[in-house]
């Protein structure tokens, strides 16, 4: 428990930093700490809207002095529970992205989104290994490892980090890289948090300007045949192909494009790195497997990579549950569709990503990233109706899980876990040896547990 803050404490903090400072009950605090999941509403003791690394350094020292736990938020996508105490540092003002085209390094500020990185890199004919959504914060996503539309070809995003700049629990600014504090560098690439406040990261970019990718949409009557074809097909394609399928239920509202409005579909997401003709040849079996009422697969600039998944970028109430899968087969499809394939199942999206490849399997040898030992991810996203969050969605998801238990892997990845309900669930995001090493690294760098973490 931290020491109570009085007016003099807050005045002193405001004098220390150049950014904004908010305290509980300030009218502007709600907007400052808003989350992508609008049901999560933070109400910490004090918030520092950091403008610089100095602001972060001084805020951390202030929190240590006052015995306040420290939390960090950029875009708010990673929030899974309300913050009701301590000092929250918001980094969204620190959104600079600087590209060095000679070294192909992007220096990415703590609050930058992937969209800003993609746009800045594209001006030099470069691209980052980004996530499926360009709206997500680049650093928070990378701290969890990062699996996106090109991951089978190029591995986890964290594989491409060359250095982090961060503020430690002692309030010092330091660098972590392969040669500077390598234990911390190992942990930051996949360990997610509790190690310091990252100010920026240096990410190597690819000299890649185009991919052959997009989506195929299959209507409800063709879902089973298309999904069965996909499960066979993913075992034949090279690592230059990254794909996923998602059962999508589009509401009958005007905000949804007319050709998708009110439909229950299977959406195949496809990305190929290489010549267009080869990309067409590789995806041809899925085009033949079942009639697609919408075919958006084409040659595209990497600046449009976010359109492959076309993830929702509008904040709202959210519920999700994630896990990873062992190798799946036709028996899996039968069991999965029996539980998840009904039109009235209360999930707007249930996605399965194929991530198994040489590059992803190699990641745990050099970083703390979890989930590399399981070849598929599965995420269930509930309908945005809060009245269903406490009982209906958990019960329905339990039913789906019960039907596919033989295929569920022991480990997962922290970015795909969804709501973290227990320490045991949190630990499942890493192999046991990596989790133990992470705990030891956190203790070494933050023995007083200043940085709040499960």
pLDDT digit string, tens, across residues 344-370: 899 999 999 999 988 888 877 789 999
Q: How many domains does the chain have?
A: 3
Residue pLDDT, tens place only, 396-447: 999 999 999 999 999 899 998 877 777 888 888 999 999 999 999 999 999 9
Residues 124 and 176 in one domain: yes
Residues 308 and 377 in one domain: yes
Residues 400 and 256 in one domain: yes
Confidence of residue 1 (pLDDT cuts 50, 70, 90): low
Q: How does the average pLDDT of the chain come out, rounded?
A: 94
Of 141, 88, 90, 89, the closest CA to residue 113 belongs to 141
Residue pLDDT, tens place only, 171-190: 999 999 999 999 999 999 99
Residues 215 and 327 in one domain: yes
Residue 24 lies in a domain: yes
Please say whether the beta carbons of 358 and 239 come within 8 A. Answer: yes
- Interatomic CA distance for residues 79 and 398, integer angstroms: 23
- Interatomic CA distance for residues 395 and 388, integer angstroms: 10
Please say whether the beta carbons of 49 and 22 come within 8 A. Answer: yes
**Structure-block tokens of residue 75:** 């875009």
Angle at 280 between CA 277 and CA 286, to 5 degrees: 165
Expressed in angstroms, the distance from the first to the final Cα of the chain is 16
Phi, psi of 106 (to 5 degrees): -105, 125
Residue 438 lies in a domain: no
Residue pLDDT, tens place only, 203-250: 999 999 999 999 999 999 999 999 999 999 999 999 999 999 999 999
- Per-residue model confidence (pLDDT) at position 430: 92
Residues 19 and 102 in one domain: no
Q: At which of 90, 111, 140 does a domain end?
A: 90
Query: CATH no. for residue 22?
Result: 3.30.43.10
Q: Domain range for residue 196?
A: 97-207
Whole-model pTM: value is 0.94
Residues 262 and 390 in one domain: yes
Taking residues 192-198, what's their average pLDDT? 95
Confidence of residue 2 (pLDDT cuts 50, 70, 90): low
Q: Which residues pair with 89 in a beta bridge?
A: 48, 72
Residue 434 lies in a domain: no
Residue 355 lies in a domain: yes
Query: From the centroid of its chain, how far is CA 200?
Result: 17
- Interatomic CA distance for residues 445 and 440, integer angstroms: 9
């Amino acid at each position: 428990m931290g020491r109570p803050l009085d007016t003099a404490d807050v005045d002193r903090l405001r004098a220390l930093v150049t950014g904004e400072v908010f305290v509980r009950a300030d009218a502007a605090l709600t907007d400052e700490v808003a989350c992508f999941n609008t049901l999560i509403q933070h109400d910490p003791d004090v918030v520092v809207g950091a403008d610089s690394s100095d602001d972060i350094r001084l805020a951390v020292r202030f929190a240590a002095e006052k015995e306040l736990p420290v939390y960090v938020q950029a875009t708010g996508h990673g929030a899974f529970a309300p913050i009701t105490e301590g000092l929250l540092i918001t980094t969204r003002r620190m959104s600079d992205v600087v590209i060095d085209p000679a070294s192909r390094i992007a220096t990415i500020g703590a609050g930058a989104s992937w969209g800003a990185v993609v746009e800045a890199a594209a001006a030099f004919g470069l691209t980052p290994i980004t996530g499926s959504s360009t709206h997500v914060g680049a650093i928070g996503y990378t701290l969890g490892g990062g699996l996106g539309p090109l991951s089978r070809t190029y591995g986890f995003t964290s594989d491409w980090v060359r250095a982090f700049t961060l503020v430690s629990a002692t309030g010092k600014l330091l660098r972590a890289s392969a040669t500077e504090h390598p234990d911390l560098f190992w942990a930051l690439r996949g360990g997610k948090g509790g190690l310091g406040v990252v100010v920026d990261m240096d990410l190597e970019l690819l000299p890649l300007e185009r991919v052959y990718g997009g989506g195929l949409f299959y209507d409800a009557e063709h879902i089973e045949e298309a999904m069965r074809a996909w499960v066979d097909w993913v075992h034949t394609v090279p690592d230059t192909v990254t794909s996923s399928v998602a059962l999508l239920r589009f509401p009958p509202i005007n905000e949804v494009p007319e050709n998708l409005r009110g439909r229950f579909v299977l959406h195949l997401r496809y990305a190929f790195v290489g010549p267009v003709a080869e990309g067409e040849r590789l995806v041809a079996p899925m085009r033949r497997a079942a009639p697609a009422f919408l075919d958006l697969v084409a040659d595209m600039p990497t600046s449009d990579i976010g359109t492959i998944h076309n993830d929702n970028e509008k904040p709202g109430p959210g519920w999700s549950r994630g896990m990873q899968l062992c190798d799946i087969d036709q028996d899996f499809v039968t069991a999965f569709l029996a539980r998840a394939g009904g039109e009235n199942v209360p999930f707007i999206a249930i996605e399965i990503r194929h991530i198994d490849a040489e590059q992803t399997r190699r990641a745990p040898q050099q970083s703390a990233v979890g989930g590399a030992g399981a070849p598929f991810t599965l995420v269930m996203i509930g309908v945005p109706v809060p009245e269903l969050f406490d009982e209906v969605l958990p019960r329905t998801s339990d039913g789906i899980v019960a039907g596919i238990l033989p295929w569920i892997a022991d480990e997962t990845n922290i970015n795909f876990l969804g709501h973290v309900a227990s320490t045991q669930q949190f630990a499942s995001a890493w192999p046991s040896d990596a989790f133990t090493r992470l705990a030891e690294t956190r203790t070494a760098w933050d023995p007083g547990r200043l940085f709040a973490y499960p």
